[in-house]
Amino acid sequence: MEDAYARSVSEVLDFFGVDPAKGLSDSQVDHHSRMFGRNVLPEEKRTPFWKLVLKQFDDLLVKILIVAAIVSFVLALANGETGLTAFLEPFVILLILAANAAVGVITETNAEKALEELRAYQANIATVLRNGCFSILPASELVPGDIVEVTVGCKLPADLRVIEMSSNEFRVDQAILTGESCSVEKDVECTSTTNAVYQDKKNILFSGTDVVAGRGRAVVIGVGSNTAMGSIHDSMLHTDDEATPLKKKLDEFGSFLAKVIAGICVLVWVVNIGHFSDPSHGGFFKGAIHYFKIAVALAVAAIPEGLPAVVTTCLALGTKKMARLNAIVRSLPSVETLGCTTVICSDKTGTLTTNMMSVSKICVVQSADHGPMISEFNVSGTTYAPEGTVFDSNDQQLDCPAQSPCLHYLAMCSSLCNDSVLQYNPDKDSYEKIGESTEVALRVLAEKVGLPGFDSMPSALNMLSKHERASYCNHYWENQFKKVYVLEFTRDRKMMSVLCSHKQMDVMFSKGAPESIIARCTKLLCNSDGSVVPLTAASRAELESRFASFGDETLRCLALAFRTVPHGQQTISYDNENDLTFIGLVGMLDPPRKEVRDAMLACMTAGIRVIVVTGDNKSTAESICKKIGAFDNLVDFSGLSYTASEFERLPAMQQTTALQRMTLFSRVEPSHKRMLVEALQNQNEVVAMTGDGVNDAPALKKADIGIAMGSGTAVAKSASDMVLADDNFASIVAAVAEGRAIYNNTKQFIRYMISSNIGEVVCIFVAAVLGIPDTLAPVQLLWVNLVTDGLPATAIGFNKQDSDVMKAKPRKVGEAVVTGWLFFRYLVIGVYVGLATVAGFIWWFIYSDGGPKLTYSELMNFETCALRETSYPCSIFEDRHPSTVAMTVLVVVEMFNALNNLSENQSLLVITPRSNLWLVGSIILTMVLHMLILYVHPLAVLFSVTPLSWGEWTAVLYLSFPVIIIDEVLKFLSRNTGLRFRFRLRKMDLLPKDRRDR
């Protein structure tokens, strides 16, 4: 029954055919069970494990590598090769792919936990009326029409419509569903609101929320998927994970690279058709296979096998940095996504605010001698910790607040007219509440005011343990006064009173809505001397004016009063709640975190828009936005602030315009949050969404990066990509800066690896075109790609964050990692790397003192050596020295190229190697590893290399070092000519831009 909130109690009961005095009969239960289903959230269909595994290999580059491994394996068998060397290449490739697949499967398995943890918010049992008798049944057996008894501490087992209240007040904490900072008062009356959201449905109790005050009966109107919690479950179930911007760019790169690789491989094979019949191959078919192997080697050289591992490693390093900033990353790609975030949709309660009601202002009558003179006090401290001070209107701190008569009585009344508990939780190292947040705020106020008569009170209290300090002053007042009788809060009176006995004096303390308390007061307490004087019309008007001003600041306001009663009286009635003595007003709110204002300014500077999203009412939310700087210097919020209902009523075109300016979105429910994320994504925004409640989970999962609060629900955490350990919005901004730095470093090592791979492709291609022997063996290419490239590329991830990283606008979603002038730069570097490698190979044959000193034509015609008379043995072309020199040139030139990537445009003379000692260390380690395979015999055999002489090492250095000079010239041009902006590659963009590039 979807509109039960708008129907009267009798209409709802008639709809289900239930007698409120007897409940459903057994036959009705069976009928309703068949009609509406069981009260459980449906099991989602899990993706089979084998499908998860296969999904990890659904990538073009991965498929090319698999084909290359299979072809390499088949060719090794066809050539009769045996031993480890024959199968090393396909084995290493498949090992890399298996490792990447394992990481992907683990990540996707964790993503499904959010749906499982949602079940934790379902109640286990319910007190149900059936066949005229109450019984306790499993909540899963409830059916629509069941009459359920609910009371304080009860977790609601289904969506219910209130039909009867057995107490004066009935309140429910539904923050996990709506994000409201205070508990909500429920009643029996129907609601006529059109387009009602959860907050408007005052007669509906939602599944999974908690009763915090009162007792009553309700009829079940929705079970399982037909509850508010069920709609969240369905929303999460039908939300597909979005690929991150970097993942999209790498996928585009893969498609582009696959086409280039295929073209070059075919070209190399076709160019050498004339050599298929060379005698050295032993026939046309064997010649075709030989050059096919070269094409496979070219594919292995072109694909940066180590790129996924290096990207993963760099992002993992970023997660460690972010953990130090209290941002715990659950999904590695989200580290990079933060860097291009354009909009942060931030939950208000608990993120921008502390989610702890706190008294911030006190108003008392200082003196009434010459008309009412009002004094206001400000109270510091924004959490439940009993830490804070009281300041007067001149911002002067009060050393002993309890010496002021009104503050003294305020502390007494706050402690005694109170049903809540404040306690310290050593496991979380935090103070926690039990009961209403407004009442706990009064308990904390009593602790901040302290006790009278002790000059050393502030320092004495600080000497207590946190457990003792939690309620030390409250316990003092409770020991001084014995509670005799309590008049509970009722909606018509809007107040609560408690009768207390103290020695030979009995006092009644009252608290409640200011309009109710002030109307019942005839006297007031003066703060100047503690005297009690009549409450005049002028004083009453002034107090009502101050109460109104508290409302303008959207403070939740309570008034406190007292009255002495005859000694020995054991009860009080409503008639006693007259002739009260006014003590003062207290204004409280869920205060904004002190760090948030600076964080908001940092977002604006960085070009990131913040939209505050909350279930609270519009005026309260606007007040918080003013305090945190979202509405700085603005009086009119039209066009910036919308409730969910206001936004939905706008025409489609106006909604599009509103989304571009919106700063506040209030009175929302879960579906609105998800709708907001989708609408922003449709405008090509990269959206970060924060939240802590079950209601936030669908939006967290849908957003480009979902950010959950450390103190939030398990559901929100499981649906998120990142968890804020300190629940602080400022930590998000720090994480964005780190995300941008990580992306910059990611670009640097991707460019490094691409230029290195271009060098390897150029090397093999040039060797094939020139018709010289194979320059590098496939196993040598794998070694270079995985080890000698991988270590420095990973170390580039430790490049220091630029000082102006948060002064630039967010990068565009479609921005390619390497485009235009940068592609030309790295093409030049890559071509030099390839030519230097081939030059090292040729140098050994023609110029090396240890080589045969052939002519160039003899080297090019090596395949006919057996058919000619030569002064050198043909076995010289199988010598391992030339390929070792070539491989060493490739390794050393890439080490120098790694130094080039300390900065995109800054010279090595400015950004020196000392700025990244990790990179220096990785270069040293790489060279040590290379030395090992050269000079340790078993490894040398495995990699088909041999030790080099000093002369050969000298040639290697001469051929390698110029890469530094070439890149310095290119950097100089980038810095001084603006060429990097004018240069365009129309058809050779390494990472094609998204059509939706803004």
Catalytic residues: 347
Label the pairing between strands 390-391 and 505-512: unpaired
Amino acid at the residue 76: A
- φ, ψ for residue 754 (rounded to 5)? -65, -45
- Helix (H) / strand (E) containing 700: helix 697-702
∠ at Cα 570 (569, 574), nearest 5°? 90
- φ, ψ for residue 771 (rounded to 5)? 80, 25
CA 458 to chain centre: 40
The 3-state secondary structure of 225-278, one letter per residue: HHCHHHHHHHHHHCCCCCCCHHHHHHHHHHHHHHHHHHHHHHHHHHHCHHHCCC
What string of DSSP letters covers 391-419?
A: E-TTSPBPS-GGGSHHHHHHHHHHHHS--
Q: What is the dihedral angle through the alpha carbons of 576, 578, 584, 590, rounded to the nearest 10 degrees?
A: 70
Instruction: Give the position of tokens 């602080």.
Output: 728
- Classify residue 786 by its DSSP letter: I
Let me know if 565 is exposed, middle or buried by CB neighbors in 10 A (0-12, 13-18, 19+): middle
For residue 603, the number of C-alpha atoms closer than 13 Å in the C-beta half-sphere is: 28
d(CA 807, CA 634): 24
How many C-beta neighbours within 10 Å does residue 267 have?
Answer: 15
What string of DSSP letters covers 198-234?
A: GGG-TTEE-TT-EEEE-EEEEEEEE-GGGSHHHHHHH
The 3-state secondary structure of 497-528, one letter per residue: EEEEEECCEEEEEEEECHHHHHHHEEEEEECC
Q: Are 671 and 231 in contact (CB under 8 A)?
A: yes
What string of DSSP letters covers 25-76?
A: -HHHHHHHHHHH--SSPPPPPPPPHHHHHHHTT-SHHHHHHHHHHHHHHHHH
Q: Are 782 and 92 in contact (CB under 8 A)?
A: yes
Q: Are 202 and 186 in contact (CB under 8 A)?
A: yes
Instruction: Give the position of tokens 């069941």.
Output: 146
Q: Which residues contact 337 (CB under 8 A, 6 or more apart)?
A: 244, 245, 246, 686, 688, 704, 705, 721, 739
d(CA 858, CA 694): 76
- Helix (H) / strand (E) containing 179: none
Q: Are 760 and 776 in contact (CB under 8 A)?
A: yes
- Classify residue 799 by its DSSP letter: P
Let me know if 244 is exposed, middle or buried by CB neighbors in 10 A (0-12, 13-18, 19+): buried
CA 573 to chain centre: 53
**Strand ranges, E, within 71-169:** 125-130, 133-138, 147-151, 159-165
d(CA 779, CA 69): 12
